A = this chain, B = another copy of it.
Amino acid sequence: MTTTYQRKLRLAAFIHHVWDEGKVDASDDYVAEAYTIRHDPGDPWDGKTLDRAGFKDRVQKSRAAFPDQKFDIQELFADGQNIVMTWLWSGTHTGDLPGFPATDRLISMSGATVYTFDNNERLTGHWQITDRLGVFQQLHRNK
């Protein structure tokens, strides 16, 4: 029986290894065979269900513009099969984004994500809100 505390540690390890360090193959340990992005306004994969190859592709493409990105987890809340994570994120914009060639600026972002686990402690998807406007304002400034 996994406790909610263990599940929180597991989620934090996933964020660190896969999203911060970019060890995409480590996602096999954390992600179910079907991962659904239930709600994520502005995310290119919003509404899609990804297999493991699709999940790795999403991580790699998302990290490409900000290779040194880090999530600073604010709080973790456990209820049922879910962990809600509130977070601050930052990364240096060294790769191109659509409409925004690399600026070499340190960009920061806030967000909240509901992650859902299956009975094997693997992630089956998320529901997420990010402060996209804040990012756009940082990219546009003195462009």
Please list the residues of chain A having a beta carbon within 8 angstroms of any beta carbon in chain B. Answer: 4, 39, 41-42, 74-75, 77-80, 82, 84, 86, 110-112, 114, 127, 129-134, 136
Contacts and interface: CB of A to CB of B under 8 A. Distances in A.
Given A84-B84, A86-B127, A77 B133 contact: no
B77 A110 contact: no
Interface centre among A39, A42, A131 (most CB of B within 10 A): A131
B74 A77 contact: no
Contacts of A42: 131, 133-134
A42 B79 CA distance: 28
Nearest to A42: B133
A131 B46 CA distance: 14
B111 A74 contact: no
19 contacts: A4-B79, A39-B86, A39-B110, A41-B133, A42-B131, A75-B127, A77-B80, A79-B84, A84-B114, A86-B127, A86-B129, A110-B129, A111-B129, A129-B129, A129-B130, A129-B131, A132-B133, A132-B134, A133-B136
A117 B86 CA distance: 17
Contacts of A112: 84, 112, 114, 127, 129
